[in-house]
Chains A and B, each alone.
Chain A
Amino acid sequence: MQKQAQWLRWLQGAMLLTVGSCVDPYRPPEIASPNTFLVVEGNLNGGTGSSTIKLSRTQNLANANKPSPEQKATIRLEGTPYSFVETTTKGTYTLASATLPVGSKYQVRIKTGDGKEYLSDPITMKQTPKIDSLTAEVVGNGLQIYVNTHDASNKTRYYRWEYEDTYEFYTPFESPLEYVNKELIQRTGPPINHCWRTETSSTTLLGSSARLTQDILQKAPLLYLSATSPKLNVNYSILVSQYAQSAEGYAYWENLLKTTEQLGGLFDPLPSQVGGNLHCVTNPTEPVLGFLDGYTTEQLRVFIKRPPALSRNQIRTGYEGCFTDTIPKEKQPLDVFLRPGGGYNVIRPVEGSSTSYVATGVACTDCRDRGTIVKPSYWP
C-alpha cells in the first residue's frame, strides 16, 4: 500500500503540472450495499476435549465498527446428537463434552437467527502428530525458532501452527512510594516493576511435507526474534500448538495468508477470492467465509535463554526513554505530577530534602501497562 500511495501521489503530482487530477469517492452499488456474509472460524477438536466455533458477519468496507458477532445461532453436528452452546462471549459457541474419534467424518450445520441454514463439507477428523522438538539457532543478528515434527504413518503432510509466547521483564526503576489521598505512603502488595507479557501469533504459520518422501518436517520456521527484542532478556517461553490440516484447509490458509493485506490497486497484485468449505443451503449463491477442519491438538512448551552470541547491549527494552526528574517545580505543586493522570511516580526523596522527590514516568516504574504482574503457573 505504501508503494501504491507513492505512485498515486506521483501521478497526481504529474498531472498538477497542467491542471490537476481529481480523486472522487468510488462507491459502486456492489460495495455500498450492505454485505453481511457469515464468517465461521474454529475447528472440531478430535478425541475428547471441547471444540469452539466463532460466528460473525462481514461488514461494508467503509464501516469503522468492530465486526458484529452472530448470536442466537444453532450449530449441530449432522447425524449426531452433538450441538454447540453459545457461551457468555457473544458469537462464540462451544461443544464441551463430545468424543469425535479420529478418522470419523462430520458435517457442521449452522442455523442462524434469520432462519438461514449453512452446511459444511464433510470434515474428516485427523490425528495430529506430536511435536518432536522446538529448536532455536542464531541466524544473522537474531534467533530463529523452529519446530520439528514427523508422522511415521505419512498421513499428516499439512501442518499449521499457532504459538503463544511469554517473556519476563522489569521496569528500569522501582517506586516504593504510592500517592494516596495526596499523601506519599509506602507501597504495599506485590511489586509492580516485574511482569510477564504474553503474545499470540498474528500470522498464519504453515508447513507441508507434501514434496518429501517421508512425512518429516525439520526446522520449519516459526518466528524470528531480533537481538534487539526485549523478549530475549530475562527469560522467555513459547507454547506451540500444532494442527494437522486437510489439503484443502492448508490451501485455504495459504491463500488467506497471501491476500490479507492487499487492496486492489493498480500496482498491487491481483487479489482473488478466498473460498471455504461451507455453503449456504437456503441460498446457494450466498458466500460463506471460513474453513472448518477437524483435528486433535498437540502442544509443546519450551524455555529459551538468550544465546551468548547475541550481545546483550543491543537489547531495546522499550524503556530507553525513561529519565528521572525532580518534583515539584516552581508554580507546579507535587499534586500536579502525582495525581491520577499526572504521569509521574516517585522513586525516592531527594537527599537532604523533605519536600523534593526524584520521580519518573509511571510506565518506567509500573509494568502493568505492558504485561501482568501475575507469574504464570508454568514459570520456573
Chain B
Amino acid sequence: MTKSFPVFLFIISLITGQLALGQQTRPIIVSGQFTNAPFAQLVQTIEARTPYRFYFNPADVDSLRVTTQATDVPLATLLNTAFSGTGLRYAIDSRNRVFITTDQAIRTELPIGFFERGGAPDTTTIDYGAARTTARLTLETKLFEIGSRNLAGRPGNATLAGRIKSTTTGEPAVGVTVLIEKPRIGAVTDQYGFYSIALPRGRHELKIRSLGLRDTKRQLMLYGDGKLDIEMDEEVVPLKEVIVGAQKDANVSSTQMGAERLDTKTIKQVPTVLGEADLIRVVMTLPGVKSVGEGTVGFNVRGGSAGQNLILFNDAVIYNPSHLFGFFSAFNPDIVKSVELYKSAIPSRYGGRLSSVLDVSTRDGNKKKLTGAGGIGLLTGRLTLEGPLITDKTSILVGVRSTYSDWLLKQLPGGYANSRASFYDVNLNLTHEANDRNSFYLSAYLSHDQFKLNSDSLYAYSNQVAALKWKHVYGNKLYGVFTGTYSRYQYAVSSNKRPAEAFRFGFDIQQSGLKADFNYFPNTRHTIDFGIGSTRYDLNPGSLRPSGTDSRIRTDVVPGEQGLESAVYIGDRFDVSPRLSVNVGLRYSLFMNLGPGQVYTYAPGIPRAESTIRDTLTYGSGSLVKADQGPEYRVALRYAITDAFSVKASYNRMRQYLHLISNSVAVSPLDIYKLSDTYLRPQVGDQYSLGLYQNLRANTIELSAEGYYRTLQNQLDYRSGATLLLNHHLETDVVRAEGVAYGVELMIRKMTGKLNGWLSYTYARSLLRTTGTDGSDVVNGGNWYPSSYDKPHDVTLVGNYKINRRLSISFNVTYSTGRPITLPLAKYALAGAERVYYSERNQYRIPDYFRTDVSLNIEGNHKVRKLAHSSWTLGIYNLTGRRNAYSVYFNSVGQGIKGYQLSIFGQPIPTLTYNFKF
C-alpha cells in the first residue's frame, strides 16, 4: 500500500468574507485550489476565511481527497465538485452552518406549508407557485448520481433511461425532449413517457423541454447505466408569466418531416361548429389535409382518398371516426392526450394505409387524485372521471359522452316529429405500473349512433375497440411493448314502414391483431425500433334480410371475407453527425386472403361483367385464396445547415390491402370495406418529399415549406352506374386506375406568446387515370382527370389571442377551391326513356369554399384550489354567413330537372358550451 504523502498547496487569492458579513443578501463566494488535499484541509481553509462552519463525522470524509480549482464561486459549487462521485451530501442553513452527511442531505428547514396544514383551504396561488418553484429549483440544483461510483473515471458512454411524468397527474409526458448541450445529444420521450439516451460518462446538465410543460433540468453525474425518472410541472394557467421555452426547435432538429403533433390545448383553442372541441376538424386545418365536405369528418391527405388514412386510437383501428353523420368526431376531447398525424416519412412501425397515419392517444388518468371534467353544449353533454385505484401505480379513466338532443328534433316544425338522432360513446382506460419494468394498459372504446328520419329507415352504426398493452423494460437500452387489439365496426339500415318490404341491411368488419414492438438504444448515434405483428380480418360485406314474418324480402348475403395481414419492420435513426441524421426503415408486409370463399373467373380479354363470368372456384375454410406481399421502404434524412435552418428529404412506400369502397366522396355510413383478392390488387403508393424549415426569433416562429410527389398504383374508381352494396362480384364494377398527387405546403407557425397559431397555404393536385383498355374500363377516354378530392388551393389561418388571463379569442379562417363534380349537362330522350347527358368525370367544380369562425373563451377565476374550474366558450361559426355548397344535387321538378346547392351552415351559427374541471 503506497500512499503518497499528501502535498497540498493552496492559495487564497481573494476573500470577500468581510463584505459578505456586512451584506447578508449577497452570496458568500470562495476561491481555492486543491490538489489531492484531504477534506479536513479544505474545511480548515474555508472556515478560516468565511463565516461558514462545517459539521461532519470525520469517519465519513477520511478517505476523501479533493482536487479542484475554484475562483469566486459559491460554496455550493465548490462542494458539488468536491463531492462529485462520492456519496457525500451537504446542506447549508441560514446561519451558514454546513452539514456533511452520507447519502442523504439533511433538511435545514421545515417543509413548505408545514405550519399551514389544516389551515385555511383557500391558499393563495402565490404561495403555491412559490412552493412549487422552490421544490423545482431544489431538484434542478441537486446532483443526481447515476450508476456505481466504482466506475468513476472510465471513458465511454453510459445509457440513461427513465420516465417523465407530470407532477400534477402522474401521467406520462409524451414528446418531451431530453438533451445535453455539449456535445449536443438528445432524445424524445415516447408515448409512455419513456426515454433512453446514451451520454458520455461524467458531469452533465440534462435539460428537459416540452411544449405545455415547464422546462426543467437535472444535474447529473453519470458513472454508468442507470435510471432517472423526472416529474415535470404543467403550465396550468400562466398567471404570472408565460415562460417562453428557450429552444422549441423540434421543427428544425427532428428528422421527422410531414408530421404534426397536436396536444389537447391546441385542439381546444380552435373554434368548432356546435362548440365542442373536435380533433379531426383541427387536423383538417393543417396543410395537406383537406376536408371532404362540411359536416363530415372524412378527410383526404395529400391527394389520397378518405379510405387511405389509418386512424389509430391507442393502437386500435377506428373505421368510422364520426358521430351524428360527421358533425362530431368520435373522440371525446377530454380523453385525448395528443394526436399525431404523419403525412410523409411515415415510420416503419406503421403500415396498411397509403396516405396518412392519425395516431390518437388518450390520457392514462390521474395517478394522484380523483378529478373530473365535463361540458355541456347545445347538443351534447360529456363527463370524464379519473383517479388512482392505487396511488402512483394504477389509474382509471372513464369518459362518457352523449347527445341529449332527441327532443330537439321533435320540436322542429315541418314533420320531423318522428325523427330521432342520437349517439353516445364510452371510454375506459386502466393503467397499471406493476413495477419499474412492467406496465399494463387497457383501453376500451365503444360508440353507437343511430338516426331515423320520420318513419323511414333507421340507420345505426357502432365502433367497438379494445387494446391491451404490456410494456416491459429489459434494460436501459431495450424495451418492448406487446399489444393485442380488437376493432369492430358495423352498421345496419332497417325499415319496418311497409311490413311486406321490411328489411335489415347489415355490414360489419372486425379485426384482431397481435404485435410486438421493440425500441433499442445501442449507443448515442443509433435508435433502433423493430417489431412484428399480424392482424386477422373478418368481414361481412353485406347482408339483406327480411324483418318480421310478413316481409317478402329475399335474403341476400354476400359471402364473408377473411384475411391475414402480417408485417415485420425495422427502423434506425442514425445521427451521422450533429448536423446530419438519417432515418432508414424497412417494412415487409404479407397479406393472405383466406377461404372459405368463391372466386369467379372471367372470359379473358374483355371487360369483366356478370355476363362474362365463366367459372366459379371454391376455396375451403382457411385455404389460401390469394397472397400479396412486398417491401415498404422508408427513408428520411435531415441536414441542419444552421441551428435554426434545416433541410429534410424523405421517400416512403406504403402498401394497402384493405380498400374502402365508396363512390360518394364522403365517408358515409353506407360505405363498405373490401379485402384485396384475386382481382382487387393491393394499393401501392410512393411518396417523395422535400422540406425546408427555418425557425426565427429564438425558435418562436417556425417557417416550413414542404413539397411532395406521389404515385399511386392500383387505385379504385368505379364504372358508370356501379352497384356497390350487395354486389357478389365487385370486380365487375370497379376500374383500376393509377394516380399522381403533388403539391407544396407552406406554413408559418407561432406557438407561444399572446398571439399564437398558424397560417398555411397548400397547392395540391390529385389526378387519376384508368389503366384499362376496353370500353367500360376506361373513364374519360383514358386521360388524366381530377380525383373527387382534388382541391388545388387551400389557405387556412388558425389563431388564438390572449386578451388577459381569463379571456382569449380564437379564430379560424379557411378558403379552398371547390371539389370536382360531374355535371349533368343536358337531357334527351332515347329508346323510349329520358336520359341525362353527363360531362366527363370530375370536369367541373362546386363553388369555392370560404368560412370564418370566431370564439371567445372565458375562464373562471384562477384560484388553484377550489371545487371546480369552469369555462365558457361563446362562438360564432361561419361569421360571414357565406352559403358554402356542401352538396350539389339535381331533382326532377315537373318535367324538368333542376340543380340545387345545399349549404348546411349557410348563416352565422352561434354556439355556447360550458366546460368544467374538478
Contacts and interface: CB of A to CB of B under 8 A. Distances in A.
A6 to B, nearest CB: 5
Given A255-B776, A264-B889, A210 B896 contact: no
B719 to A, nearest CB: 8
Contacts of A254: 609, 776
A41 B828 CA distance: 11
9 contacts: A23-B903, A26-B888, A35-B826, A212-B603, A251-B776, A256-B835, A262-B836, A268-B664, A271-B824
Interface of A: 1, 4-6, 8-28, 30-31, 35, 37, 39, 41, 56-67, 200-202, 204, 206-208, 210-212, 247-248, 251, 254-260, 262-274, 287, 289-290
Question: Which 3 pairs across A and B sit closest by C-beta, in order of nearness?
Answer: A258-B721, A58-B826, A64-B895
Contacts of A14: 324-325, 327, 421
B440 interface: no
Interface of B: 274, 293, 295, 324-325, 327, 378-379, 405, 408-409, 412, 414, 416, 419, 421, 451, 453, 456-457, 602-603, 606-607, 609, 611-614, 663-666, 668, 670, 717-724, 774-776, 779-780, 788, 821-833, 835-841, 844, 883, 885-909, 911
Nearest to A204: B831
Contacts of B412: 13, 16-17
B837 A287 contact: yes
Contact of A30 (B378, B451, B780, B839): B839
Given A12-B902, A59-B827, A270 B841 contact: yes
A37 B457 contact: no
B841 A272 contact: yes
B890 A211 contact: no
B720 A271 contact: yes
B295 A251 contact: no
A13 B894 CA distance: 25
Contacts, number: 269
A93 to B, nearest CB: 16
A77 B182 CA distance: 90
Nearest to A141: B552
B610 to A, nearest CB: 9
A13 B908 CA distance: 17
A23 B836 contact: no
Nearest to A41: B830
Contacts of A272: 719-720, 779-780, 822, 838, 840-841
B883 A266 contact: no
A57 B828 CA distance: 7
Contacts of A258: 719-722
Contacts of A39: 828-830
B77 to A, nearest CB: 64
Residue among A6, A65, A264 with max Cβ neighbours from chain B (10 Å): A264
Nearest to A255: B720
Nearest to B890: A263
Contact of B822 (A57, A58, A264, A290): A264
Contact of A18 (B274, B831, B893): B274
A289 B825 CA distance: 12
Given A200-B832, A264-B888, A61 B822 contact: no
A271 B457 CA distance: 25
Contact of B606 (A6, A17, A210, A274): A210
A25 B906 CA distance: 14
A1 B409 CA distance: 24
B378 A18 contact: yes
B837 A37 contact: yes
A266 B889 contact: yes
A111 to B, nearest CB: 20
A15 B837 contact: no
A39 B834 CA distance: 12
A9 B825 CA distance: 25
B408 A267 contact: no
Contacts of B844: 28, 30
Contacts of B898: 25, 61-62
Given A202-B833, A259-B838, A61 B776 contact: no
A273 B664 CA distance: 17
B899 A31 contact: yes
A30 B888 CA distance: 14
A202 B900 CA distance: 29
Given A24-B901, A31-B825, A39-B828, A211 B841 contact: no
A67 B828 contact: yes
Contacts of B274: 18
Nearest to A27: B899
B668 A267 contact: yes
Contact of A15 (B606, B720, B885, B905): B905
A149 to B, nearest CB: 14
Nearest to A266: B887
B903 A61 contact: no
B836 A259 contact: yes
Given A21-B906, A41-B830, A65 B611 contact: no
Nearest to B493: A3
Given A26-B900, A61-B897, A248-B775, A266 B822 contact: no
A273 B840 contact: yes
B721 A210 contact: no
Nearest to A3: B457
B899 A270 contact: no
Contacts of A5: 891
Given A28-B823, A59-B826, A22 B907 contact: yes
B905 A61 contact: no
Nearest to B608: A211
Nearest to B840: A273
A60 B898 CA distance: 9
Contact of A17 (B409, B888, B894): B409
A204 B835 CA distance: 13
A6 B408 CA distance: 19
A44 B716 CA distance: 38
B912 to A, nearest CB: 11
Contacts of B906: 20-22, 24
* Most chain A beta-carbon contacts within 10 A, residue among B821, B894, B899: B899
B883 A24 contact: yes
Contact of A263 (B602, B611, B891): B891
